[in-house]
């Protein structure tokens, strides 16, 4: 609801164009959305005066326009369309963030304002309050942790069993040669603290297997990201996802999924989205006739069962999956809803993404309705 005694302004990520005498177009720079309106000269005067300094009533008096129900309805429409914001309210909202953080996240806050129908400061505060458990500090998991800390997440728990090796330098974004031999989680923690020294970060070098009790970390987490790809991400997700479902914690499954490294993952929200068992049963069905093909000519038979071959990959491919994941997570923190895309993979030679549409299985023992 518009309060005529409050100050309003056009949002910063919107350009306004006047076309002829009576057409106004609002162009959302981030989303490329356009809102085109036929208006009167009086309305153009009001829009031109929404400068963030004068109240609506003051603007009406200056422009000799009556604050009518039509003007009120028009301004409310601009609010609903996320074209204008109330500066008076924003000044109050600002108090939930420090002055330093308002400066630090200025452009991100503008982005939130232009994309989400929720005050940007509330979204930023939520990022700061979340406790995110990142399982796996490989190329994908570490990159997600970095981008989340850059965006303002201040509480992280990192778990990974591996040390930094020389091949880590090719796909990870935080290792230096001097880190080789250190636990990945420790090296990553140091890097994250260099981005934000106020970060509360726990790091554990530990193998997560079927016998590992997760409660000690899950009970302190509000969001989980699983990138553990050993023995396979589908298997680790089943274990972690069932535990998350019980505790009503959202989980994002990210990673290269072995077969393809430019993948988009899925956000699993308990009681909202298909659960991890729905995904597992879907893949069990679609992959029932699939068997791995080994290049048996390359190595002696005796070594085949004992060797695990790494799928080829580039840092650029990891970065695609990382960025998609973080965009989807930020969307969830801002809106509470899942991404509309989910599991898919980018085929670079065609520049197209193939998505798998998975719905809730009504017969699912975990989330089914039957
Ligand atoms: Zn299910």
289 pLDDT tier (thresholds 50, 70, 90): low
Is residue 323 assigned to a domain? yes
Decide which of 129, 146, 171 is a domain's last residue: 129
Q: How many Å lie between the centroid of ligand 1 and the Cα of residue 240?
A: 14
Which of 159, 134, 168, 169 is closest to 148 using CA atoms? 134
pLDDT in tens, 246-288: 999 999 999 756 545 788 889 999 999 999 999 888 877 776 6
Is residue 362 assigned to a domain? no
Q: What is the model's pLDDT at position 280?
A: 85
Give the residue with greater pLDDT, 338 vs 286: 338
Q: How many Å lie between the centroid of ligand 1 and the Cα of residue 369?
A: 9
Q: What is the model's pLDDT at position 357?
A: 79
Q: How many Å lie between the centroid of ligand 1 and the Cα of residue 230?
A: 23
Is residue 365 assigned to a domain? no
State yes or no: pLDDT of 306 exceeds 50.
no
**Residues 153 and 287 grouped into a single domain:** yes
**Residues 291 and 301 grouped into a single domain:** yes
Q: How many Å lie between the centroid of ligand 1 and the Cα of residue 241?
A: 10
Q: What is the model's pLDDT at position 310?
A: 65
**Residues 95 and 70 grouped into a single domain:** yes
**Residues 24 and 71 grouped into a single domain:** yes
Residue 182 CB neighbour total at 10 angstroms? 15
**Residues 62 and 192 grouped into a single domain:** no
CATH number for the domain harbouring residue 194:
3.40.50.720
Q: How many Å lie between the centroid of ligand 1 and the Cα of residue 39?
A: 51
Backbone angles phi, psi at 20, to 5 degrees: 70, -155
**Residues 115 and 135 grouped into a single domain:** no
Q: How many Å lie between the centroid of ligand 1 and the Cα of residue 33?
A: 36
pTM of the predicted protein model: 0.84
Give the residue with greater pLDDT, 232 vs 175: 175
Q: What is the model's pLDDT at position 260?
A: 54
**Residues 116 and 143 grouped into a single domain:** no
pLDDT in tens, 9-59: 998 889 999 998 899 999 998 888 999 999 998 889 999 999 899 999 999
Is residue 367 assigned to a domain? no
Q: How many Å lie between the centroid of ligand 1 and the Cα of residue 288?
A: 19
CA triplet 104, 109, 112: central angle to 5 degrees? Answer: 150
Average pLDDT across the chain, whole number: 88
Q: How many Å lie between the centroid of ligand 1 and the Cα of residue 278?
A: 4
**Residues 185 and 96 grouped into a single domain:** no
Check if the beta carbon of residue 116 is closer than 8 Å to that of residue 335: yes
**Residues 145 and 273 grouped into a single domain:** yes
Decide which of 82, 105, 129 is a domain's last residue: 129
Pairing of strands 132-135, 14-19: unpaired
Is residue 272 assigned to a domain? yes
**Residues 94 and 67 grouped into a single domain:** yes
Q: How many Å lie between the centroid of ligand 1 and the Cα of residue 264?
A: 20
Stretch 82-111: mean pLDDT: 90
Is residue 363 assigned to a domain? no
Q: How many Å lie between the centroid of ligand 1 and the Cα of residue 275?
A: 4
State yes or no: pLDDT of 298 exceeds 80.
no
CATH number for the domain harbouring residue 72:
3.90.930.60
**Residues 108 and 229 grouped into a single domain:** no
Q: How many domains does the chain have?
A: 2
**Residues 93 and 237 grouped into a single domain:** no
* R_g (Cα) of the chain, nearest Å: 25
Stretch 59-85: mean pLDDT: 92
Is residue 145 assigned to a domain? yes
CA triplet 23, 24, 28: central angle to 5 degrees? Answer: 145
The parent domain of residue 252 ranges over 130-355
Q: How many Å lie between the centroid of ligand 1 and the Cα of residue 245?
A: 10
State yes or no: pLDDT of 149 exceeds 70.
yes
89 pLDDT tier (thresholds 50, 70, 90): confident
């Amino acid at each position: 609801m518009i309060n005529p005694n409050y100050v309003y302004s056009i949002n910063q990520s919107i350009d306004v164009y006047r076309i002829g005498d009576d057409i106004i177009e609002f162009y959302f720079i981030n989303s490329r959305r356009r809102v085109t309106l036929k208006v009167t000269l009086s309305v153009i005067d009001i829009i031109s005066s929404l400068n963030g300094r004068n109240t609506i009533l003051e603007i009406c008096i200056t422009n000799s326009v009556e604050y009518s129900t039509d003007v009120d309805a028009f301004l409310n429409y601009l609010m609903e369309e996320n074209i204008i914001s109330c500066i008076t309210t924003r000044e109050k909202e600002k108090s939930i963030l420090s002055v330093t953080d308002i400066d630090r996240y200025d452009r991100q806050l503008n982005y939130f304002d232009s994309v989400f129908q929720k005050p940007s400061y509330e979204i930023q505060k939520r990022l700061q309050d979340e406790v995110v458990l990142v399982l796996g500090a490989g190329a994908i998991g570490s990159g997600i942790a970095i981008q989340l800390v850059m965006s303002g997440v201040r509480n992280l728990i990192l778990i990974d069993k591996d040390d930094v090796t020389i091949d880590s330098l090719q796909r990870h974004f935080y290792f230096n040669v001097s880190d080789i031999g250190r636990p990945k989680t420790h090296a990553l923690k140091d890097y994250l603290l260099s981005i934000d020294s106020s970060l509360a970060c726990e790091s554990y070098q530990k193998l997560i297997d079927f016998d590992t009790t997760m409660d000690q970390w899950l009970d302190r987490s509000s969001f989980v990201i699983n990138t553990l790809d050993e023995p396979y991400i589908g298997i680790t997700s089943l274990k972690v996802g069932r535990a998350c479902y019980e505790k009503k914690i959202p989980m994002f499954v990210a990673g290269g999924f072995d077969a393809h490294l430019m993948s988009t993952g899925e956000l699993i929200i308990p009681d909202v989205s298909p659960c991890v068992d729905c995904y597992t049963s879907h893949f069990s069905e679609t992959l029932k006739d699939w068997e791995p093909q080994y290049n048996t000519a390359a190595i002696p038979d005796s070594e085949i069962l004992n060797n695990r071959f790494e799928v080829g990959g580039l840092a650029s491919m990891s970065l695609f999956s990382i960025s998609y994941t973080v965009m989807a997570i930020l969307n969830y923190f801002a809106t509470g809803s899942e991404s509309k895309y989910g599991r898919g993979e980018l085929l670079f030679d065609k520049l197209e993404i193939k998505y798998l549409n998975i719905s809730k299985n009504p017969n699912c023992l975990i989330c089914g309705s039957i």
